[in-house]
Structure 1
Amino acid sequence: MREEPTWRIPVGILALFIALMVYAIVIARYAPGLIGQWPGLAQTIVYLVLGIIWLLPLKRFLIWMETGSWSPPQEPD
């Protein structure tokens, strides 16, 4: 466990916020034009999937913020 703060945590939080804002703007800008004429249920499914996709890289990003490495620490044998 860390004993002192690192620069990665505030930088990581800002980067995450900026990335999510860019992702949200891109989705809000282009998704309605692509799926706007689809039935409501199909649109709901697409927006649910798009709302979950941003979580996929989050684990590795949080690991980097805590450890400085992009992969989880290896457990000793």
Structure 2
Amino acid sequence: MIKLHHIIQAQAHLRPHLRQLPLRYSQALSERSGARVWLKLESQQPTGSFKIRGALHKTMSLTAAERAAGLVTASAGNHGLG
């Protein structure tokens, strides 16, 4: 199970590399759901999606030995754009 301190640690690692995105209130979704709905538009990140978060955090979390061995990824989507 992911613990809160892991989330806070990942946030600290990623903050310098990602855009700070504003929250946008959605009137339409709020009316449809009967609750206040706010959106964070991750499509405004450099890769156009939230996927940069996981890939970047994993890459930054590699040990020295893992980095020395190299890293290969494959993607047919947004992950490959980062």
TM-score past 0.5 threshold: no
Higher-Rg member (1/2):
1
**Does 1 or 2 have the higher relative contact order (CA < 8 Å, sep 6+)?**
1
TM-score (norm 2): 0.27
Structure number with the higher helix fraction is 1
Structure number with the higher strand fraction is 2
